[in-house]
Amino acid sequence: MPELPEVETIVRELARTLPGQRILQAKVFRPDVLREPPHIFCRAVAGAEIQSVNRRGKNIVLSLSPSRILVVNLGMTGRLLHLPPSHQVAPYPHRAVDFLLHSGGALLYTDSRRFGRAALFSEEEWERESERLGPEPLSPDLTVQAFHRRLTRSRAPVRSWLLDQTHLAGIGNIYACEALHRAGIHPLRKASSLALSQSGRLLRALRDVLTEALEARGTSLRDYRTATGEEGGFLTSLRVYGREGRPCVRCTTSIARIVLSNRSAFFCPRCQPETSSWRP
């Protein structure tokens, strides 16, 4: 958390309001979220103009002028809030970095558990970092055949495969579990064991659930808020995630939970039968 729909929601909001704004000053309260020493970070962003706001995987990518890329990854509990002028920053808890804007507003990066990161890159450095991430699941450039080829290279359980950002960028546990349920695939299935038709079903399921969640502006389990501080509306549309013991919306069988790589995987034992599964 937050995953592609949550990060894309934040990016779309910030892209409407931030481009053209100048950063007056950064104030660092939690240096451990930075890659650079705080004084170097603050010097680099002071006076920079925000040119654009984009997303790559779960990363919020702000292009600054002079040419620098500021990348914010919200980790588990991070928020990036854009406050209009005259809004007080003081009441916001867990502030990690404040970016005070020339317009009088502020961009606040808050993070209670501080698994998130803010880092500066040159354009070339960020390009190299970005190339290490897998393709974007919503990109029309990603074909079923290419997706299937990537899956067949790995013997990892498919749920774990989906969480690896070098395979596919932007998927986390919520949408991995939801897409596997929609595609009728058990979370322990070996990635390499999927038939082309199953890979196709999985890619369609991923795209459907990501698109629907994006329309609802993401899922607020606990910490996620949009850039204007609102909750996302997809929580009630989840079919398996966090629903252990409750009836499957498709077949009424109780939703099961297993722990896989220290993360819960939720699934319906009937809709997602365990055939040719991976065994520890």
Catalytic residues: 2-3, 58, 263
Task: Please identify, among the stretches 52-60, 77-85, 139-147, 263-271, the one whose residues bind Zn ion according to the rule CB under 5 A.
Answer: 263-271
Count CB neighbours of 39 within 10 A: 10
**Residue closer to Zn ion (CB basis): 64 or 202:** 202
Q: Which residue is nearest to Zn ion (CB)?
A: 248
250 binds Zn ion (CB under 5 A): yes
Count CB neighbours of 204 within 10 A: 14
Q: How far is the CB of 159 from Zn ion (least distance, A)?
A: 17
Among 33, 53, 248, 265, binds Zn ion (CB under 5 A): 248
Write out the DSSP string of 140-199: TT--HHHHHHHHHT--SBHHHHHH-TTTSSS--HHHHHHHHHHHT--TTBBGGG--HHHH
10 binds Zn ion (CB under 5 A): no
What part of residues 213-242 is at the interface with Zn ion (CB under 5 A)? none
Q: How far is the CB of 164 from Zn ion (least distance, A)?
A: 26
**Residue closer to Zn ion (CB basis): 122 or 252:** 252
Q: How far is the CB of 246 from Zn ion (least distance, A)?
A: 11
Torsion region of 252: left, alpha or beta (phi above 0 gives left; psi -120 to 50 gives alpha): left
Task: Please identify, among the stretches 9-17, 162-170, 203-211, 245-253, the one whose residues bind Zn ion according to the rule CB under 5 A.
Answer: 245-253
40: helix, strand or coil: helix
Nearest to 29 by CA among 94, 119, 115, 75: 94
The C-alpha atoms of residue 68 and residue 161 are separated, in whole angstroms, by 32
Among 251, 254, 273, 274, binds Zn ion (CB under 5 A): 251
Residues 229, 249 contacting (CB under 8 angstroms): no
Task: Please identify, among the stretches 3-11, 215-223, 230-238, 251-259, the one whose residues bind Zn ion according to the rule CB under 5 A.
Answer: 251-259
**Residue closer to Zn ion (CB basis): 65 or 253:** 253
Interacting residue ranges for Zn ion, rule: CB under 5 A: 248, 250-251, 253, 268, 270-271
